[in-house]
Structure 1
């Protein structure tokens, strides 16, 4: 959760305005003074132990310190509870991973807990509770009100903070219900601690405190293992999703996006190495894909290059650990960095670099999971390459080495879709047919016919280049798809092709006679042209229109000519 500079300044101003002067006023006018707090140190130690060992439920961190704070308030009053909570902020700040750059979080939390102590404490005093009372009825009622109001006002502060920062907030969230459940469980311990300590002294703190802290540790160990298992299950599902992707582009686009959903990184980079040249294959920064270009040497001598050379996953928890080999693509405010090699066929192909602005943002087990996911990623890319080769093979005419009907049909649908979406203005289609090709086969043989088909395809491919898609429609028919070509432009292209073919000599072997020899022959082609959306906005209709123009306007009109489709 990132806050604007203005919001950060407001948080610091609130702390400065209320916490130091407020604490001083409480010290001066509190009905109970530190000199009267016999045994306070033991309570404070128990509160610190409770705050040192948080645990996690449903992705939320819980610190069971409120049960000790209840006992401290009931025995010593507002000032003692306030001081205890402010001291417990030190281990809490560690668990919240508050760094120098995010120090505003500490000040806001300090202000928030100060306000909670003052508001809840004064509420209970105003309702009639006498500090140090051991009447069972008063302890249960006022202690419960203190705890419940503490929880409600705490969430009210969080709600107001996020509302003022224009964030989507829900008061009765999942976290609220979990915290209420934890409070319901620990409230009797807090009330019991106060009453038991009154009758037995500090012994009560260890008889009640140590078992509860031990239970907290067990819950933490269990929740940690549950979190690891949940991440492993998500990683397994992630691996299956990668395996289902059929193209390298889909896999690359999905990989960093899904990783950002699983782990708290602010920037991610896939650094590839092709023929000993480093470059950034994919980059994602603050939730957006980026196109980045950097010099090979700048990457090679950075932590990305070192990670590639070492071939093992590395985790850096703060900037000073890696700043001496800072990559050019990492922002200056990054702290935690994860560098993981990507292996394919037992050979390192590149590295994945994940970075976060928070210190200690990544856990060591997450490094192992990311390493596992990089293996899934590499295998998926390899599979996608094989699939691509198989698909390309199935879409290439074995004889002419240009696209076949399967690919032409797919490409035409794609171009028409782009036209209908407004991505292109026009789509023109040229259909060509070799004149009297059956006579060529009958005279010179099918082998010679195949040579003519191959050279015919080469002529078209060279003439069209990257301007369009060239494919063999079937037999001696060929198709050219020209996106963003008007009918007039397509007619000019078709005419140039007709002349080129007419003027090109074809050398073919004459194998049907008694003596084999080579002979030069000339061929011609009839051509039909149709354009979308002028003639049709459907691919199949566009093909039929060009075919109709070819046979009616060119073949029946004498062959060796170009004809346009006319409605």
Structure 2
């Protein structure tokens, strides 16, 4: 529940105005019975133990303390019950991982439980219940009314709280259902504890209290094992999903997103070792990506660098355990921290750091699961690298290192789609062909021809830079895609390239001569230009138009010239 600072302040003020005064009024006017302090002390201990060891079922935490507080009310009245319930908020606050930021929640719970205790007790008294009664029928009826009202009012207050914080609450939630089940389980225990304590005294705590606590512990152990198994299953599914991602960015994005959903964290950082220097590969704080940069020395001396050096996953439960090795990226709001090395090929490549504002936010077993997930992550990144290299190799010309026709075809389709969507204003295509290249091969040999192709490709690549896509179309033909270039601009670029090639001396090895030697030759190129959407609104037509301009407007007109496509 996220609320404003003003709302939090109002909760504190409301508690101060209502609860202290309400306790005093309950002391003055609420029906009371002579207290047996020995019995009440045992009831308090039992109530605290019950809240210290809650049930965990299907992700719901159940503090089944009402069976004890019911016995307190039936014995000693509203004041005793509400005071015991207020004491039980101490272990509840611990389980809720209360800190300065969310302390208002426990204050609201105190206010809520106070009102619930007063209202339920008052209604039971108005209906005719007398404290300490041993009339079975009365105790069963009024005790049941008290317990049922307690559950209903508790969830009514929760519903109202969420309503006033702008959420869309539901009254009949999963938690409400589990509380009703808890009521059915514990109501007989509460009534039995009251009767048994009334007849046999302190022995009732041994006969009912201790078995109940032991049952709670057994259920907790079972629940913990189920949670571990559930998290392991999620980790396994997560590993398979990571393996299906093909790019490093997809893998990193999914890894961070799933980690954030699986664990109670407020921030996550991947510290990467890039060529011997640490940097923040990815950072997410409160669900938002952050671009963080720090000096290698700062990161190396922090807990991230220490965990990297030792290679051992480490869990810090509170700030005092890591503050002396505080990383520069962690703010002082954080308490719990997990730092896990990321291994790839038995070598540490980086460190994952998770942080929470709450103390003791992470469990020890979660550290092992994170370590497992980091292994999945590293393997997936390595696989993506191999896939990327394989794809790049399949889309590159081995000789010139330019993109090949396969890449060009896909890029042309992508650029034309962006043009149709209005992301580009125009798209120009330049097709180039080396003049009389066959004669070069026949005169100097194919090795010299390959050297010319390599140097020719580098000239085009240097001249175009990042402004366009350069690809080898086939043989001695090359294609350039220029997004957002008009035909006039593309013609100017083409003319600059033609002049550059014409003026560049190419060194060849005259292998066909009796004595091998290096020679300098000059070559020229014919060039055709076509532009979309002026000349075409379809990718292959744009390519054919440039090809037609190349051969009819440049080659047939004498070579070594630039021609534009004309309808």
Distance 1:148 1:548 in 2: 87
Q: 2:278 maps to what in 1?
A: 278
C-alpha contact 2:33 2:131 (8 A) present in aligned 1: no
Tell me if 1:544 matches 2:536. no
Distance 1:192 1:318 in 2: 42
How many residues get paired?
567
The structure-2 alpha-carbon separation of the partners of 1:383 and 1:56, relative to structure 1 and needing over 3 Å to count, comes to same
C-alpha contact 1:545 1:565 (8 A) present in aligned 2: yes
Q: 1:370 maps to what in 2?
A: 370
Match of 1:232, SS state, is helix
User: Structure 2 matches for 1:548-567, cutoff 5 A?
Assistant: 548-567=548-567
Q: 1:522 maps to what in 2?
A: 522
Shift of 1:530: 2.2
The structure-2 alpha-carbon separation of the partners of 1:72 and 1:516, relative to structure 1 and needing over 3 Å to count, comes to same
Match of 1:552, SS state, is helix
C-alpha contact 2:51 2:91 (8 A) present in aligned 1: yes
C-alpha contact 2:78 2:118 (8 A) present in aligned 1: yes
- For residues 246-268 of structure 1, what are the alpha-carbon distances to aligned partners after superposition, in whole Å with 9 as ceiling and x for unaligned? 11111122211110010111111
Tell me if 1:459 matches 2:459. yes
Q: 2:339 maps to what in 1?
A: 339
User: Structure 2 matches for 1:15-26, cutoff 5 A?
Assistant: 15-26=15-26
Shift of 1:295: 1.9
Q: 1:98 maps to what in 2?
A: 98
Structure 1 length-normalised TM: 0.95
Match of 2:121, SS state, is helix
Match of 1:374, SS state, is helix
- For residues 3-29 of structure 1, what are the alpha-carbon distances to aligned partners after superposition, in whole Å with 9 as ceiling and x for unaligned? 321222122112111111101110111
- For residues 288-318 of structure 1, what are the alpha-carbon distances to aligned partners after superposition, in whole Å with 9 as ceiling and x for unaligned? 1111111222222222222222221111111
C-alpha contact 1:27 1:33 (8 A) present in aligned 2: no
Shift of 1:168: 4.0
Distance 2:15 2:476 in 1: 83
Q: 1:32 maps to what in 2?
A: 32
- For residues 488-525 of structure 1, what are the alpha-carbon distances to aligned partners after superposition, in whole Å with 9 as ceiling and x for unaligned? 21111111111122222333344456665555443322
Q: 1:6 maps to what in 2?
A: 6
The structure-2 alpha-carbon separation of the partners of 1:538 and 1:336, relative to structure 1 and needing over 3 Å to count, comes to farther
Distance 2:230 2:154 in 1: 29
The structure-2 alpha-carbon separation of the partners of 1:173 and 1:402, relative to structure 1 and needing over 3 Å to count, comes to same
Match of 1:340, SS state, is strand
User: Structure 2 matches for 1:343-354, cutoff 5 A?
Assistant: 343-354=343-354
The structure-2 alpha-carbon separation of the partners of 1:5 and 1:34, relative to structure 1 and needing over 3 Å to count, comes to farther
Distance 1:342 1:477 in 2: 46
Distance 2:518 2:41 in 1: 108
The structure-2 alpha-carbon separation of the partners of 1:166 and 1:537, relative to structure 1 and needing over 3 Å to count, comes to farther
Distance 1:249 1:132 in 2: 68
The structure-2 alpha-carbon separation of the partners of 1:514 and 1:307, relative to structure 1 and needing over 3 Å to count, comes to closer
Distance 2:320 2:421 in 1: 51
- For residues 323-380 of structure 1, what are the alpha-carbon distances to aligned partners after superposition, in whole Å with 9 as ceiling and x for unaligned? 2222221122111111111122222222111111111111111111111111111121
Q: 2:177 maps to what in 1?
A: 177
Q: Which moved more, 1:450-459 or 1:335-344?
A: 450-459
Q: 1:532 maps to what in 2?
A: 532
Q: 1:133 maps to what in 2?
A: 133
Distance 2:119 2:535 in 1: 77
User: Structure 2 matches for 1:363-402, cutoff 5 A?
Assistant: 363-402=363-402
Q: Which moved more, 1:76-85 or 1:186-195?
A: 186-195
Shift of 1:453: 1.8
Q: Which moved more, 1:462-471 or 1:500-509?
A: 500-509
C-alpha contact 2:33 2:132 (8 A) present in aligned 1: no
Shift of 1:2: 3.8
Match of 1:152, SS state, is helix
Tell me if 1:200 matches 2:200. yes
Q: 1:252 maps to what in 2?
A: 252
Distance 2:176 2:420 in 1: 50
User: Structure 2 matches for 1:85-164, cutoff 5 A?
Assistant: 85-164=85-164
Q: Which moved more, 1:332-341 or 1:298-307?
A: 298-307
Q: 1:438 maps to what in 2?
A: 438
Distance 2:34 2:558 in 1: 113
RMSD between aligned alpha carbons? 2.1
The structure-2 alpha-carbon separation of the partners of 1:425 and 1:293, relative to structure 1 and needing over 3 Å to count, comes to farther
Q: 2:303 maps to what in 1?
A: 303
Q: 2:289 maps to what in 1?
A: 289
Structure 2 length-normalised TM: 0.95
Match of 1:246, SS state, is coil
Q: 2:43 maps to what in 1?
A: 43
Structure 2 gap segments, 5+ residues each:
none
C-alpha contact 1:37 1:76 (8 A) present in aligned 2: no
Distance 1:287 1:281 in 2: 16
Q: 1:214 maps to what in 2?
A: 214
Distance 2:517 2:247 in 1: 48
Distance 2:448 2:330 in 1: 61
Match of 1:284, SS state, is strand
Q: 2:328 maps to what in 1?
A: 328
Distance 2:126 2:55 in 1: 35
Match of 1:39, SS state, is helix
Distance 1:63 1:191 in 2: 18
Match of 1:294, SS state, is coil
Distance 1:84 1:308 in 2: 49
Q: Which moved more, 1:522-531 or 1:277-286?
A: 522-531
The structure-2 alpha-carbon separation of the partners of 1:515 and 1:499, relative to structure 1 and needing over 3 Å to count, comes to same
The structure-2 alpha-carbon separation of the partners of 1:424 and 1:57, relative to structure 1 and needing over 3 Å to count, comes to farther
Structure 1 gap segments, 5+ residues each:
none
Q: Which moved more, 1:167-176 or 1:59-68?
A: 167-176
- For residues 60-83 of structure 1, what are the alpha-carbon distances to aligned partners after superposition, in whole Å with 9 as ceiling and x for unaligned? 211111111222222222112111
